[in-house]
Chains A and B, each alone.
Chain A
Amino acid sequence: MHIVVCVKMVPDTTQVSIDPVTNTLVREGVPFITNPFDTNAVEEAIRFKDRYGAYVTAVSMGPPAAESVLRKAISIGADEGILLSDRAFGGADTLATSTVLGLAIKRIAEKRPVDIILCGKQTIDGDTAQVGPGIARRMDIPQLTLVDEVLSVNQDQKTIKVRRKLEGYHEIVESQMPCMITVEREINTPRYPTVPGRLDADDIDIQVWSNNVLKLDPNSIGLLGSPTQVRRIFAPEREKGEIMMGEGDQKDNAVEAIFNKLIEKDIVAVK
């Protein structure tokens, strides 16, 4: 079994502000982290490894510094890391990104057939949730998005059964492998790396594939291959709400009142 897991290095968005003049993200001094959804994808990949002895390849497209997120994946158990890095890949939208990732995974599969491609549901910088499905489309394989539980794997039949988390209900789907899965955060709790794991990951060679390796048409990748145009980015005005409960004589039963509201709006449920 071979799992490819896609990870992205993203700015820690809790610390990002938007420049009011240029309408772009102010990234100066902001630390980069592994996209949180991707940490769940990596964890799920390692669980396949624990359970079925799968081989796990972590792939990322990004600047040279993005090798850090690959090392992090390796530190908790991924077997190798491949960084897709080329100036020509820069400025890519979700279409151009999935073109590069899709081809790279095909290359990876030539050496070792791939059974499952795991992605986070979305990234916290773009929030489009399109790259995973884009990869599936370019590779012409089934896609199982928004998965919050892997129910079973049949290695002989090459099928997988998962649960998808949709609005207000769950859907259980069975699919042929190879397939592409995007995961929800609820699917697991990512493990913490051990120090021997980290030290091993520090030493491992990360392969860097530029477009010299992939040989994609320059017009289909990077900024040139991105039909998406960003007109304006802005932070939505945050309207300050009013205090509805918890003041004055309502002070004592505020907790109960809040829960009643939440239950009413179907945000929490009573078991």
Chain B
Amino acid sequence: MSSIERLLFAIVFFGAVAFFLKNVFRLIATICLGRPANRFDRLWSRLRNMLVYGFGQLRVVSERFGINHFFLFWGFMVLAFVNFEFLVAGLFPDTSTVKGFSLLFMGRIPYGILMFLADIMSLVVLVCVVIAVLRRTFFRPAHIDPTLDAYFILSLVAMLMIAFFGMNACEASMGKLAMASWMPISNGLKIFVSGLSSEGVHSLARFFWWLHALVLLFFLNYLPYSKHLHVLTAIPNCFFKSESLVSTVPRLIFKKGEEFGISKAVQFQWTDLLDFMSCTECGRCQAACPATNTDKSLNPKQIIHEGKLNIFKNASAIRATRPADILAPAPKEAEMVAPLINGSEESISTEAIWECTTCGACMQVCPVFIEHAPKIVKMRQHLVMEKAEFPEELIAFFEASEQRSNPWGLAPTDRTKWTTDLNVPVITDGVKAEYLFYVGCAGAFDSRARQVTVALTKILNSAGVSWGILGNEESCCGDSLRRLGNEYVFDKMVKENLEKFSKYGIKKVITYCPHCFTTLKNDYKQYGAELDVIHHTELINNLIKQGKIKPAPSSNGAIVIHDSCYLGRYNQIYDEPRDVLKACSGGQSPLEMERCGEKSFCCGAGGGRMWMEELVGKRIYLERTQEALTSNPSTIAVACPYCMTMFEDGVKDEKAADNVKVKDIAEIVADSI
């Protein structure tokens, strides 16, 4: 390496590194614009997540093609060491007097192994790049956008590998490759240059060396400007991911002068901003989203992408008003140059915000743990609480919920109508019971769901469970209100409900509705509630296991099971409903739909969508019902009153209601005892 070359490289190297560090600092400063959030707790668990999901790529490989990424990733991990050595050696090259920089000090064998791995992995990476290009070009799935950016990055990676082999082959040919015996591929490739003169080989080596150096440094600096920003952010995002099972919105304190909900990107917490920057645009969220799948404008990937564009655009404007980059949250009164909601291409549309069912399918498949749904709910909070702007059908729902504490606006005194001909114990000051059966609004008012309520009471009685209801004192749990962003009324409801629970000393609660279930169990925790909440499928499963109820195989025919989002993804209850159905079918497992378990497809009613019109695209419930019907079931088993409504509509639309019954798991059990 001539001294001119060395000087030239030093200039390029320090320039590139400085530019890179400046960009990294800018990214950190941008993330810091967000509101505070404590994601430095439970460090061991976070470290584990980072290892398992970041370095282990556990979620990436959960899809077949993810294995390609896994090899690319690990190829780069190995090459990181070699490239580090390469760059430092560029500054301190081998001269006649001084030996150049090398990692050889780690020991001959370990260094040899490193070089062997680097050699092999470079080829693996090259193969992976070719596969990725072929996939993008000829087998592109619908959720992958045909961007030139991806081809550009892939060609940079390919060039890097070709330069690596070219450089090594030339050096091997000149006998200068330190670890030639450990690098079979590089060593083998030297036959391609064997016909050249020694000067020719030397020039070629210098060419590949410079190609490698320039592409590497360019690649580093191109990252922050492309979707490959995730190379820098994805692993931290796995570390800082939400530690709670259910990712929901935090509790709000209603004080005058505060702004509620989010209308500016900087009002998000810094973890949300990091989320925006971590998106790899893999499109898995989009492939899983019930709204996207039924031709609606919501696309979770797009929400995150627009969030990223928005924060970048606004961040540079905020930085311009500050003397220097400060690692501090944006000032409250910070002016936004691009609105977050409804504006240009850097904005999120209100249509998309209202189309979300909060089913969580996007968050379940995201390889880097981006939390889409809470962001959408926070924007809804702004629209509802600050602007009172929402689809008009919701006003009736909001008024009914607030005034009559049920979504239909029915008389609260009718809440116990279903008990008329039954002997249902009511928990009062004098009457105590082990379990409160929190019937829920659907279970109490909806005529179909009431049949499930009655079935469940039959089970509870025959198993000898000590239970009671709150009667007309029960009120709505507030689930839909919260998901729709009406946190203010939700807040009032929680406080009233918890007051009632504590008045009657209620500790254990049975729910039939998964929405009541998750709200009482998880959301109410933010208010200090310590309730032991059990879903009826869990309870029934326990009762069967304890021998307290003995279902006899009944004649439901082929049963196909549907996982409710709020039971499954939100609370990881997958086995209990299946075990119960098995017990009722003489040990036979229920039929599964193609999208089941963690990948279950929403019925369309979650997130408050139950109370809204669905005018765009295909009806979600129809999509799901058709999927259920492909297995030719005679019964569709559900465990949620909303799913029940949606499937009943679906089988009627499909003119299948005469042959296919929609039943709650409690009904199937009650019929068999």
Contacts from A to B (Cβ < 8 Å): 12, 14-15, 29, 31, 33, 189, 191-196, 198-200, 203
Contacts and interface: CB of A to CB of B under 8 A. Distances in A.
A249 B144 CA distance: 53
A189 B387 contact: no
A199 B256 CA distance: 6
Q: 3 shortest A-B CB distances, which residue pairs? A: A195-B385, A192-B388, A15-B411
How large, as a class, is the contact surface on chain B?
A: 20 to 34
A42 to B, nearest CB: 14
Given A31-B404, A199-B256, A189 B488 contact: no
Given A33-B403, A195-B260, A198-B488, A15 B413 contact: yes
B392 A189 contact: yes
Nearest to A14: B411
B387 A194 contact: yes
A41 B468 CA distance: 44
Given A14-B411, A15-B412, A191 B388 contact: yes
A203 B256 CA distance: 9
A69 to B, nearest CB: 12
A90 to B, nearest CB: 25
B398 interface: yes
Most buried by B among A12, A14, A33, A203: A14
Contacts of B409: 14
A174 to B, nearest CB: 32
Given A15-B413, A33-B403, A195-B254, 6 more contacts: A15-B404, A193-B388, A195-B385, A196-B256, A199-B254, A203-B256
Contacts of A198: 488
Contacts of B255: 199
A192 B398 contact: yes
B397 to A, nearest CB: 11
B5 interface: no
A189 B413 CA distance: 27
A61 B99 CA distance: 97
A195 B488 contact: yes
Contacts of A191: 388
Nearest to B409: A14
A15 to B, nearest CB: 4
A125 to B, nearest CB: 15
Contacts of A29: 413, 472
A223 to B, nearest CB: 30
Contacts of A195: 254, 260, 385-386, 488
9 contacts: A12-B411, A15-B404, A31-B412, A191-B388, A192-B388, A192-B395, A194-B387, A195-B260, A195-B488
B301 to A, nearest CB: 31
B395 A31 contact: no
A76 to B, nearest CB: 8
A15 B254 CA distance: 31
A189 B395 contact: yes
Contact of A200 (B256, B260, B399, B404): B256
A189 to B, nearest CB: 7
Contacts of B413: 15, 29
A148 to B, nearest CB: 19
Contact of A194 (B386, B392, B395, B411): B386
Contacts of A203: 256
Contact of B404 (A12, A192, A199): A12
A196 B386 contact: yes
A192 B236 CA distance: 42
B256 A194 contact: no
A14 B386 CA distance: 31
B428 to A, nearest CB: 14
Contacts of A196: 256, 260, 386
Contacts of B411: 12, 14-15
Contacts of A189: 392, 395
B579 to A, nearest CB: 41
Contact of A12 (B384, B395, B403): B403
A195 B413 CA distance: 29
B412 A194 contact: no
Interface string B390-404: 101001001100011
Contacts of B388: 191-194
Interface in B349-398: 384-388, 390, 392, 395, 398
A33 B385 CA distance: 21
Contacts of B260: 195-196
Given A15-B411, A189-B392, A31 B386 contact: no
A34 to B, nearest CB: 10
B381 to A, nearest CB: 9
Nearest to B388: A192
Contacts of B384: 192
Nearest to B260: A195
A15 B415 CA distance: 11
A164 B385 CA distance: 35
A199 B384 CA distance: 15
B547 to A, nearest CB: 43
A12 B413 CA distance: 12
Nearest to A203: B256
Given A192-B398, A198-B488, A31 B385 contact: no
A134 to B, nearest CB: 28
Interface string B242-257: 0000000000001110
B409 to A, nearest CB: 8
A126 B234 CA distance: 65
Contacts of A14: 404, 409-411
